[in-house]
């Protein structure tokens, strides 16, 4: 998704994955598509990066697609907002497996779309409104 965003005009993409092999594939694809220089690659647990990024970076589009067994989408959203990493109006796309995401309880987010694919996959597109979303 990051390479797609770059192909459509994004200035930069940050790729975070714990798997070295997966990251090597992402790097090769970035080279092949000519977007390597606009990409930042981190072989890391996402929690470490979000903690370190607080006060240093902000994002206007975030795609969260963890291994379904991790069931960490809600936690990732919480960490993104607590670290103030989302710009007002940011879009967040969550892809999850059997993790139940209570989109109505998400503070500061407006659900744009929620779709289930089969029995085990759900995609939620959220708009970040910050405190404005809680009025």
pLDDT at 92: 93
Nearest to 65 by CA among 110, 24, 115, 124: 124
pLDDT at 69: 64
Which pTM was predicted? 0.83
Nearest to 75 by CA among 53, 39, 59, 51: 51
pLDDT tens-place values along the chain, 135 residues long = 899 999 999 999 999 998 999 999 999 999 999 999 999 999 998 888 888 998 899 999 999 887 666 777 888 888 899 899 999 999 999 888 777 777 677 788 998 998 888 778 888 899 999 876 444
What six digits make up the tokens of 36?
């390597």
pLDDT at 32: 97
What six digits make up the tokens of 102?
């209570």
């Amino acid at each position: 998704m990051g390479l797609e965003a770059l192909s459509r005009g994004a200035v930069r993409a940050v790729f975070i994955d714990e798997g070295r092999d997966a990251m090597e594939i992402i790097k090769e694809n970035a080279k092949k598509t000519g977007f390597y220089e606009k990409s930042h690659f981190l072989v890391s647990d996402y929690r470490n990066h979000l903690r370190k990024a607080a006060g240093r970076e902000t994002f206007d589009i975030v795609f969260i697609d963890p291994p379904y067994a991790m069931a960490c989408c809600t936690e990732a959203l919480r960490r993104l907002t607590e670290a103030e990493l989302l710009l007002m109006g940011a879009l967040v796309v969550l892809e999850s497996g059997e993790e139940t995401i209570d989109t109505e309880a998400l503070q500061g987010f407006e659900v744009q779309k929620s779709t289930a694919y089969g029995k085990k996959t759900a995609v939620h597109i959220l708009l970040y409104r910050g405190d404005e979303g809680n009025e």
